[in-house]
Amino acid sequence: MFEVIEREKLVPNLHLLTVRAPQIVETIKPGQFVIFRSDEKAERIPLSVADWDREAGTLTTVFMVVGASTEKLSSLKTGDTVPTVVGPLGRPTEIDNFGSVVCIGGCYGMGSLFPTIKALDAKGNDITVVYEARSHNLLYWADKVAPFCSRFISITRDGSSGFKGHIDKSVEILDIIDLKPDRVIANGCTFSVYKAAKDYARYDVPIIVSLNTIMIDGTGMCGVCRVTVDNKMKFACVDGPDFDGRRVDWEELFKRRKQYLNEEAFLVHNSGCGGIK
Ligand code: FES
């Protein structure tokens, strides 16, 4: 069993969950993920890792409540236990001295980018962080990433904090300050990373997106997480989750992600938790 050290609502609908998992944090690297089950009968949920402390043996994730299973995780309290935390899974994000790197985070991606930003900074990259959200109350961890980047751009769709707009606004800002990225890394919900891939395509540089696909085993056995990249079938859990967003078949990915939305909505509605927020 894995002990819950902390569970906190960071912003509406996004929660931080820290558990004791010393064996996993011994080897984990930026960009990898873990699979949680909130109880013996719950489904397996892949979650990106947002931080860890090797000395304390703790691992932190930031997740969004999107259905019945994540709703259950969001009700855990300090001292509770969860039966399953499996990992580290997936390939780590490639970290090197690339030059100028733009890191784009939306929703839970503002958390999962943190280890990558720290590692890129340690390699001497010039880092621009772009965090985007619908409104000011959905932005978090700006203070956490600030020491590791040269510039921080926050964008809200309603203009209540930072610049008004979406990810394409950050491209306009880079133009104004005459900054051309050598690499782009995007974490967050599928629409967010898709937007990053489209909006940054003009630079003709790698746009590394972390794909959040449906998963079951997370080890390449079930095939549920398959995506088409460069016209080849890949499994996000073992070949990814990072892929070059310029090569992803986005249409297919969006169709596959929608498959279980009705079942999730039904479960949440009937569990009395008040619906998907
Ligand atoms: Fe089963 Fe990837 S989750 S193959």
How many C-beta atoms surround the C-beta of residue 239 within 10 A? Answer: 19
Task: State pTM to two decimals.
Answer: 0.91
CA distance 2 to 58: 10
43: which DSSP letter?
P
- pLDDT above 70 covers a percentage of the chain that reads 93
For residue 274, pLDDT over 90 is answered with no
Helix (H) or strand (E) holding 145: helix 142-145
For residue 210, pLDDT over 80 is answered with yes
Q: What is the pLDDT of residue 62?
A: 95
217 lines ligand 1 (CB under 6 A): yes
Mean pLDDT, the chain, as a whole number? 91
Q: Where are the domains of the chain?
A: 2-89, 100-257
Closest CA to 50 of 108, 136, 4: 108
What sign for the dihedral angle of Cα 135, 140, 142, 148? Answer: negative
Q: How far is CA 6 from CA 9, 28, 32, in A?
A: 10, 20, 21
CB-based contact 149:127 (threshold 8 Å):
yes
Q: What is the pLDDT of residues 116-147, one digit of tens each?
A: 999 999 999 999 999 999 999 999 999 999 99
Higher pLDDT, 213 or 51: 51
267: which DSSP letter?
H
Higher pLDDT, 262 or 66: 66
CATH class of the domain whose range is 2-89? mainly beta
> Structure tokens of 196?
């990053």
- Tell me the DSSP string of 198-240: HHTGGG-S-EEEE-----SSSSSSS-TTEEEETTEEEEHHHH-
Sheet containing strand 45-53, edge to edge, reads: 81-82, 2-11, 14-20, 58-64, 45-53, 33-37, 84-89
Q: How far is CA 128 from CA 124, 153, 182, 237, in A?
A: 13, 7, 11, 28
CB-based contact 172:200 (threshold 8 Å):
no
Mutation test residue for ligand 1: of 216, 243, 260, the one with most atoms within 8 Å of CB: 216
What sign for the dihedral angle of Cα 54, 58, 59, 62? Answer: negative
Q: How far is the CA of 216 from the centre of ligand 1 (A)?
A: 6
For residue 260, pLDDT over 60 is answered with no
233 lines ligand 1 (CB under 6 A): no
Burial of 272 (0-12, 13-18, 19+ CB in 10 A): exposed
Mutation test residue for ligand 1: of 33, 219, 229, 233, the one with most atoms within 8 Å of CB: 219
Q: Whose CA is nearest to atom 4 of ligand 1?
A: 220
Architecture of domain 100-257: 3-Layer(aba) Sandwich (3.40)
223 lines ligand 1 (CB under 6 A): yes
For residue 268, pLDDT over 60 is answered with no
216 lines ligand 1 (CB under 6 A): yes
215 lines ligand 1 (CB under 6 A): yes
Higher pLDDT, 262 or 105: 105
Q: What is the pLDDT of residue 156?
A: 96
Helix (H) or strand (E) holding 2: strand 2-11
Mutation test residue for ligand 1: of 44, 237, 259, 260, the one with most atoms within 8 Å of CB: 237
